[in-house]
Amino acid sequence: MRGKAYRGLRDSQLVELVAQKDAGALEALYDRYGRAAYSLARRILTEETLAQDVVQEVFLSLWRDARRFDAGRGTVATYLLSMTHHRAVDVVRREENLRRWRTSEEGLELEPDPKARVEDEVEASERRAEVRAALGELPAAQREALLLAYFGGYTQREVAALVGVPLGTVKTRMAAGMRKLKAALQDAGTEELPWTRQ
């Protein structure tokens, strides 16, 4: 039943099967997004065991209540990765020592990744290049605000304190940064936009 039988299914179809307690479908989704989710959790949490806990809980959450996924709100990838991000940030805010050195753009090195796997070098690698390029084009202050929030788990008030600017400035920088990021990614993904991908 598993493996090839699931390979041709779309993400949303797999989620339907997961809702019927089809473990093979969950494994197929894990094969597609487990690595991205784990990579994100590792980046935010640093510590391997905590990252594992977060990703495990994300996939178990999907298993327990797949009906919560609403295809009208976005893709399965966005759903899983957003959940991973939220849970990882919750943990990092509890475990202050995980992020105390992340006071700048250390949260994300934008140089090319030398360790990309061969099978990763097709879609995921292109996607990564696009996102990194889009981030690289942002003004430094906007990029810094976004990265501190996203990878450091800092709130806007904390970012303001770290950077030494008023809270309102941070809000404006984040809003402007996200707008530019959205436009840049729309330009990069001409045929398959992230928000239309299923």
- Exactly one of 13, 105, 156, 165 binds other proteins (CB under 8 A); that residue is 156
- Phi-psi sector, 192: left (phi>0), alpha (psi -120 to 50), beta: beta
Which residues 173-192 are close enough to bind other proteins by CB under 8 A? 174-175, 177-179, 181-182, 185
- Residue count (the chain): 198
- Exactly one of 105, 141, 150, 162 binds other proteins (CB under 8 A); that residue is 150
Instruction: Provide the minimum distance between the beta carbon of 122 and other proteins in the complex, in angstroms, as a whole number.
Output: 12
Cβ–Cβ under 8 Å, residues 48 and 35: no
104-117: b or e for each residue (b if 16 or more CB lie within 10 Å)? ebebbeeeeeeeee
Which residues 75-134 are close enough to bind other proteins by CB under 8 A? 75, 77-78, 81-82, 84-86, 89, 95, 97-98, 100-102, 106, 108-109, 113, 115-117, 120, 124, 127-128, 131-132
- # residues contacting other proteins (CB under 8 A): 85
What character string, x for contact with other proteins (CB under 8 A) and - otherwise, covers 39-58?
A: xx-xx--xxxxx-x--xx--
Rounded to 5°, angle at Cα 131 from 125 and 135 = 140
- Exactly one of 15, 66, 138, 149 binds other proteins (CB under 8 A); that residue is 149
Q: Report the residue number, 60 or 166, with the smaller CB distance to other proteins.
A: 60
Instruction: Provide the minimum distance between the beta carbon of 8 and other proteins in the complex, in angstroms, as a whole number.
Output: 17
Q: How far is CA 135 from the centre of its chain?
A: 14
135 touches other proteins by CB under 8 A: yes
Which of 88, 59, 77 minimizes the C-alpha distance to 149? 88
Name every residue whose Cβ is closer than 8 Å to that of residue 182 and which is 6 or more positions away in sequence. Answer: none
